[in-house]
A and B are shown apart, each in its own frame.
Chain A
C-alpha cells in the first residue's frame, strides 16, 4: 500500500488541508477583528440610544417588549418579507415533491394508547401556551413565531399519529392559511396608507391592535407552514420516507 492510498483511507486529502488552512485563517482574522470591537465608538447609533433612554419611543411602538417593537413596528417590513420566505419555502418544497405520486401511508401509531393519552394533554396545552405566548409577546419575550412553533408541534404530533392526514397542497384552505400571515400584513401595511401614513406606519393609538392582528395571522401561517413542511419532508409518505436509505453515510460508489 503506497502512502497515497493510506491518505485516502484516512480521508485527509490535500484539498481538505487547504480548506482547513483557509478557514482557520479566516477564523483567526475574524477573531482579531471582533476582539477590537469593544473599543470602538458607534458613530451612527445615536437614535438607538433614544429608544433606551426615551420611553416615549417604545410607547409609540404600541408594545412593551423592545424586540417585539423592532420586529413588528420599527422593522416590520423585514418581518413581512420573512413571512414571504416561509411562503416561498412551502412553494418550493411543493414544487420539489409535486411530481411525486404520494402514497398516503399510515404511521401505524394511530392506536398507540400512550400516544393517544399524551395527545389529549399536549394538544390543548399547546393551544393555550401558543395563545399565551402570542398575547404576552407584546410586553415580554414571545410572539407570533414562538406561538406558531408551539402550535405546529401539536400539528406534527397529530400527523405522526395519523389524526391529521390530508393532501395539504391540494386543499385551498391550507394554502390560504399558508399565505394569511403575509396577506394580513400587506393589507394592514397598505391600509394605513389609506389614512395618509407611510407603508406599515401604524396610526397613533391603533398600533397595538394592528400588531396583534398581524401577529395572530402570522402565528396561524407559521404553524401551518411548519406542519406542511414537516409533512412534505418527514411525514408519512413524505419525501424522507420515499428515500428510505438516506443516512449520514457517503455513497459507496
Chain B
C-alpha cells in the first residue's frame, strides 16, 4: 500500500471525536484522561497531517461511500476548510484541558453527574463541526447544522440555572426555525437542479426567481444562526448563560460555522444571484452589529454578558467582507482580512470566556462591580484577557489588527471609505468597553488582596489562546498560502494590487 489517501485524515477527523463521544457517554469517568490530554493531541496531529497533505498534494474531494454526486455525498477539502479545522482543534484542545478544573470548581454542590455530560457533548460537537467544515453537500450540511444546534443547547443547560434554560430554549427554537428556512431552500434547489452537491451547483445556477428565493431562504437561515444584527438577540443570553468552557466553544466556533457556510454559498454557489446591492445590505447589517454590539457591551453589568455582546459586534466585522469583496481589485485583501479576523476572533474570544470563567470562580460572581482589583488575584487570567483584547480591538501586532488592516486597506483602495470608517469606529468602541473592564480589574482594591496560587490548568489554556490570537498575525503570509489551496474564491497572489 502506498501513501495513504489524504481523505484518511479527514475521515479520522470526524470519526475519532465521534467515537470518543460515544465511549465517553458509555464509560463515564474511566476514559477521562484520554479525553483531556490524548485526544486533543491526536486531533492536532490529524489536522497537521491534513494540512501537510493539502500543501503537498493539493485540494481534494472525497466521495463518502464511493458514490459520486448527485447520488452520493462528497467532502471538499481545501485550504479554508483546513484553516477552520485547525482553529477548531486549537480551541477545543484548550477547552478540554480547562474544563475539568472549571467543572470541579463551579459545580461542587450541583448534580455532579451532569458535568459528566460535558464530555460526550463536547466531542460530538467537535465531530459535527469537523463534519460541517468538510461537507460539500447542502443537505448533509443541514444535518450537521442540526447536530451543532442540539449539541450547543445540551451544553448550555449544563449551567443549570433558569436563565440558561430560557436562553437554551430561545436558541433551540430560533435554531430550528432557521434550519427549516435553510432546508426549504435546499428543497427548492434540488427541485430545480436535481443535485445537492455544492461544487456541481456552483457552475450551474441561474439568476432566476427560484434560485433567488432558495438562496435567500438558505442565507437568511444561516444569518440567524450567525446572529447577525438584528437577529442577534438570542446570542448574548445563550453565550453569557452557559458554563464558561461552553461559552468559549459557542462564541469561538459555532457561530463561525454558519458564517463559513454563508461564505461558501455566497461566493461558491450563488454568485449568480449575489448582487452588489445585497452585499452592501449585508455590510450595513454588519456595521449595525458592530455599533449596537459595542454599545450593549459597554452597558453590560456582567463580564460574560460584555464578552457575549462583543461577539455580536465582532461578527459584524466579518460581514464587511461581502461589500468589500465585491470590488475585484481588493477582493484578495478583503478575503484575507475577513478570514484572519474570523480565526483570530475565535482564538481571542475563547481566551476571554475561559479567563472570565476563572475570574468568575475566584470572585464568586461575574458582576463587574464585584471585580475591582481582581487582576491581582488572577494575573495570568487577566493577561489572557488583555492579549485577547488587544486582538479584538485590532491593535498591532495582533491577528485582529492584521485582519482589520487588510479590510481597511481594501475599503480605502476600493473607494468604499464608509466601511473604513466603520472599521476604525468599531475599534474605538471595542477599546471603550474593554478598557472599562480593565480599569476595574487593575484598580486598587479596598480589601487587601489574598494571594491565590495560579491554577495552571485553568489559566494557561486561555493564556495560550490569547498569545495565539496575537501571534497569528505573523502567520498571515502562510495563511494566504493555505487559503489559496483549492480556493474557488477570489483569493490568490500575495495581496499586491497595483495602485
A residues sitting closer than 8 Å to B (CB atoms) are 29-30, 32-34, 36-37, 40, 42-45, 47-48, 51, 57, 73-78, 81-82, 84-85, 87-89, 91-92, 94-96, 98-99, 169-170, 172, 175-176, 178-179, 182-183, 186, 189-190, 193, 196-202
Cβ of A29 to closest chain B Cβ, rounded Å: 6
The number of chain B residues with a CB under 8 A from chain A is 65
B117 touches A88 (CB 8 A): no
A77 touches B65 (CB 8 A): yes
B65 touches A84 (CB 8 A): no
**When each residue 1-35 of chain B gets 1 if its CB lies under 8 Å from chain A and 0 otherwise, what string results?**
10000011001000100110110011110000000
B25 touches A85 (CB 8 A): no
A-B contact pairs, 29 of them (CB 8 A): A34-B191, A34-B210, A36-B210, A40-B210, A43-B204, A44-B70, A57-B71, A74-B65, A75-B71, A75-B73, A75-B140, A78-B139, A81-B143, A85-B147, A87-B22, A87-B124, A88-B151, A91-B121, A92-B157, A96-B165, A98-B114, A99-B110, A182-B18, A182-B22, A186-B18, A198-B66, A199-B7, A199-B15, A200-B66
B residues sitting closer than 8 Å to A (CB atoms) are 1, 7-8, 11, 15, 18-19, 21-22, 25-28, 62-73, 110-111, 113-114, 117, 120-121, 124, 127-128, 131, 139-140, 143-144, 146-147, 150-151, 153-155, 157-158, 160, 165, 184, 188, 191-195, 197, 200-201, 204, 209-210, 213
Knowing A85-B150, A91-B154 touch, does A77 contact B111 (C-beta < 8 A)? no
B71: A residues at CB distance < 8 A:
47-48, 51, 57, 74-75
B143: A residues at CB distance < 8 A:
78, 81-82, 85
Q: What is the CA–CA distance of A77 and B63 in the complex, to the nearest angstrom?
A: 10
Given A84-B147, A199-B11, 6 new contacts (CB under 8 A): A32-B209, A33-B209, A81-B140, A91-B121, A92-B154, A198-B63
| Residue in B closest to A189 when the chains form the complex, CB atoms | B15
Q: What is the CA–CA distance of A76 and B1 in the complex, to the nearest angstrom?
A: 27
Cβ of B167 to closest chain A Cβ, rounded Å: 13
A91 touches B194 (CB 8 A): no
Cβ of B110 to closest chain A Cβ, rounded Å: 6
| Residue in B closest to A50 when the chains form the complex, CB atoms | B71
Q: SS class of chain A's interface: helix, strand, loop or mixed? A: helix
B193 touches A84 (CB 8 A): no
B22 touches A92 (CB 8 A): no
B114 touches A99 (CB 8 A): yes
